Amino acid sequence: MPTLTSRVTGNGQATGGNFLDQLTPGLPLRRRNWPRVGAAVALAVFCGALFVLLYSSAGARRPYLAVAQPLAAGETTTAADLTTARVQSDPALSPIPAGEAGAVIGRRAAVALVPGTLLTPADLASGPLLAPDEASVGLDLKPGEVPGDLVAGDTVVVIDTAAAAGQGALVAPDVLVSQATVLSVLQPTANSPDGDTEVTVGVPADIGAAVATAASAGNVAIAGLGSGGGSS
């Protein structure tokens, strides 16, 4: 059985033998720095809360429609006029979700639209797409009679192909409408029997009947105009 002994130091003081000191001689006594421990815990909690806040904010961002190009009031919107911006929704703004772009293209701007701003329902005219002196005409166009990249809002030339039929390349087709606005485009599906593209255009009201007659006879084709349009 181990016994504890006392030793007398040089100054006459007695020192008691410690059993733990005998097992771990020379081991220094470490004390916890509680202020530092508390600061570390507080920092960890703060960083965790900040991460959760940033993650929640990023997750709340949604894609909305924004204006890509200047558009004057009354002009028809096209796909090139729109872009997508991921922002956090604000009930006071009511921006239009990016998934509703198809319903926006072809509508007229109610106010001047500035690039970089979110598009809201108030920015679009709620009235009819056609002016009082315009008429809409549906065209059933075969491949080769319609541009492949045609979208709503484009400006096109409506051509009567009957004059040039059977006359070769020497006879130019008649232009029915020098500038017509495309209101809608329905591309053929994979199961379409004829591959026709259904296009609705807005034309001057006084020529609407002639365009409709030529379209019903299958004598209409359209050609796209550049961004500058053409002369009326």
pLDDT tens sequence for the chain (232 residues): 555 454 555 555 545 555 445 545 554 555 666 677 677 777 777 777 766 666 555 556 788 999 998 887 767 888 889 999 988 766 677 888 988 888 888 888 877 888 989 898 888 876 666 778 888 898 998 888 888 888 777 889 999 988 666 555 566 678 999 999 887 777 777 777 778 888 888 899 999 999 999 999 989 999 988 654 443 3
Tell me the C-alpha distance between 54 and 57, whole Å: 5
Residue 67, pLDDT score: 92
Three-state DSSP class for residue 193: coil
Contact 109, 68 (CB under 8 A): no
Contact 104, 122 (CB under 8 A): no
pTM of the full predicted structure? 0.47
Terminal Cα-to-Cα distance of the chain (whole angstroms)? 119
- One-letter amino acid identity for 36? R
Closest among 127, 220, 213, 128 to 180, alpha carbons compared: 220
Number of H helices and E strands in the chain, helices first, is 4, 9
